Structure formats: structure tokens, C-alpha cells
Amino acid sequence: MKAIEITAFGGPEVLHQGERPMPAPGAGELLIRVSASGVNRPDVLQRLGHYPVPPGASDIPGLEVAGVIEQGAAGELADAGFKLGDRVCALVAGGGYAEFCVAPVGQCLPIPKGLSDVEAASLPETFFTVWSNLFDRARLQKGETLLVQGGSSGIGVTAIQLAKAMGVRVIATAGSDEKCAACVALGADHGINYKTHDFRAEVMRLTLGQGVDVILDMVAGAYVAREVECLSEDGRLVIIAVQGGIKSEINAGLILRRRLTVTGSTLRPRPIAFKQAIVQACLKNVWPLIESGSIRPVIYRTYAASDAAQAHALMESNLHIGKIVLTWGSA
């Protein structure tokens, strides 16, 4: 099969299309003929050598795919409500940038009605991450206020739409007025251009000094100190990436006085059982919203898989709004 390989750690140019043996599904797994592969920030980190592959996972990058079920044990497929030839999307620990990919049955979902494979390939990594961190970990509730850092990213556009669908007030930051306008068009109540405004001051102004209940942060670093300052009492800060650095200084007194929670998580190394629980939560709570049109995938651009280097260059430019997807000819 064709696959995109990381030939050495470095820039986008180290990605090349090569030939690999087709993977064979084991117990509890199925083989997907991939038509589209989502591109995510962890793929870039893996290419740079900053995100080691979990034990047992493929060294081929790619964490989410869409396509059709090519192979799998009949009993396991039936138990999961699938059959050969069904269209599915899946979260995987690696191997997504390839014509065929193995995925645990429990991490596969039917493609929502009305969606293309390209749209479906943009769902698992972002929706799983957002649901797990905002609603499981941060306990975001209807009527609360959420601050999304990086609202125009794949994670950001998902968080905005999902939070609004759940009755949450949303403030989003982005790096240009155009991106802020895109966030508002997706449902955000306010957009803050972090390059021209102090997001902490703007948050406090917009909330009349009360602060926000939950912050979803992909930056960390120096942002954390200001984020702690704009949390309301019993506020929760969830860190899901450290694009701004791993070291932060915070006012511990504020954490004590306001009873704040600072937490974080990564999804890729978590056990299959954990991810299966997220699958079931998304099937119950999110898939109906997608099928009704209340939430829609936001695809910025697609590339032929052989042009994966260009896709990574776009990802690193931060010019995109929404998701970037690779296609394998049939999408």
C-alpha cells in the first residue's frame, strides 16, 4: 500500500510517499480502506521528533481516518453494529496517512448521515478531544462561559460549535480580525484578536469582571498566568497542548482563593477502553447534532496524500481556519 513516511525528523520536506506492507487486523480490530486522513498538530510534532509514537503503534503519522471496512472478524463487527463495506471514521494511535489502516473496533464510528468522507475524516481527533476535555474533565455546563484559545484551529472550531450547541456562552481568541469574524460566524459570542488586544483584559471587560468558567488552552507557557487571572470562582483551566512552552508561572494565591482547577490531558496514549467511552458519548451526544446540521465540519483545504508536505506547511503557517485533510483518490 501507499503510505506517507517520516524519512527523518525535520521540516515538512521530510514527508515522502512510500510503499508499506498492508497491516493485518488483530483481535478486536478492523481494517479500513482509507479515503481521507485528517491532519492534526500532533502529526507535526511527531514529524519534528517531539511526539514519540506510543508502544505498539504504527510509525506512520495520522490519528484519524475515514473510509470503508475492508476486513474484520464477523462476530466482532456484528457486535459493534458494523458489516464489511460500511463507511466509518476512526481514531487511531498512528498509521492514518496510508491507503489502509487498522483501528480498534471500539474506536470506529459510522459516518454521520449526509457527510462526505473528507468531512468525516476531520471528526474523530478533534471531537473526541473536545468532548473529553470540556465535558468530562472540565464539567462544562449549560449557562457557563467558555474561553477557547485558538478558536480558528480544528480544535477551536469544534469547541465553539459544540459548546454553543450545549447552551454555553463562548469567547474565542484568534490571530487576526478575519479569524475572529470566522469564530463569530460559527457561533462564538465574541472574538478577541490576541495580537491587538490583551485577552485577559478583554475577557474581564466582556464578563463585567466576573471571568470565565472554563478555558480550553492549546498554548500554555506564559498564557497560563493570565488565564488563571481571568477565571471566575470555581473556574477550570484545561491545557491540551503546549505550543507556547512547557513552563508557566502562576499566582497560587488566586487558585486557593477562587478554588480554581488547573488540569490537562493528552488523548493518544490513553487506553482503548478510555477512548471507547468517548466514542459512546459522542455517538449519543454529538452525532445527532452533526446529522441535524446543528454542528458542521469546517474543512479549510484538502490535499492529495502525496502532497502531505504542503499540508504540514499550511498547518505550521497558522493561516488556516478549520481542518486540513489528505485524500487518497476515492474521497
- What's 164's DSSP letter? H
Per-residue pLDDT of the chain in tens (331 residues, 90 and over written 9): 999 999 999 999 999 999 999 999 999 999 999 999 999 999 999 999 999 898 889 999 999 999 999 998 888 888 888 999 999 999 999 999 999 999 999 999 999 999 999 999 999 999 999 999 999 999 999 999 999 999 999 999 999 999 999 999 999 999 999 999 999 999 999 999 999 999 999 999 999 999 999 999 998 889 999 999 999 999 999 999 888 888 888 889 999 999 999 999 888 888 888 998 999 999 999 999 999 999 999 999 999 999 999 999 999 999 999 999 999 985 5
Q: Are 102 and 24 in contact (CB under 8 A)?
A: yes
Nearest-angstrom CA–CA distance, 310 and 75: 41
CATH class of 127-264: alpha beta
Return the domain boundaries, the chain: 2-123+268-327, 127-264
The CATH number of 2-123+268-327, from 3.90.180.10, 3.40.50.360, 1.10.10.10, 3.40.605.10, is 3.90.180.10
Tell me the three cell numbers of residue 167. 447552551
Strand ranges inside the chain, DSSP E: 2-6, 15-19, 29-39, 64-72, 87-91, 100-104, 108-110, 145-148, 169-174, 190-193, 212-217, 231-239, 261-264, 299-304, 323-327
Listed in sequence order, the DSSP H helices in the chain are: 41-48, 74-79, 117-121, 124-130, 154-165, 177-185, 199-206, 223-229, 252-258, 272-285, 287-292, 308-317
Tell me the three cell numbers of residue 210. 466576573
For residue 242, the model assigns a pLDDT of 86
For residue 220, the model assigns a pLDDT of 86
Q: Are 43 and 312 in contact (CB under 8 A)?
A: yes
Q: Are 41 and 315 in contact (CB under 8 A)?
A: yes
- Residues β-bridged to residue 191: 172
What's the predicted TM-score (pTM) here? 0.91
Tell me the three cell numbers of residue 52. 514519540
For residue 262, the model assigns a pLDDT of 94
Indicate the burial class of 312 (C-beta count within 10 angstroms; 0-12, 13-18, 19 or more). Answer: buried
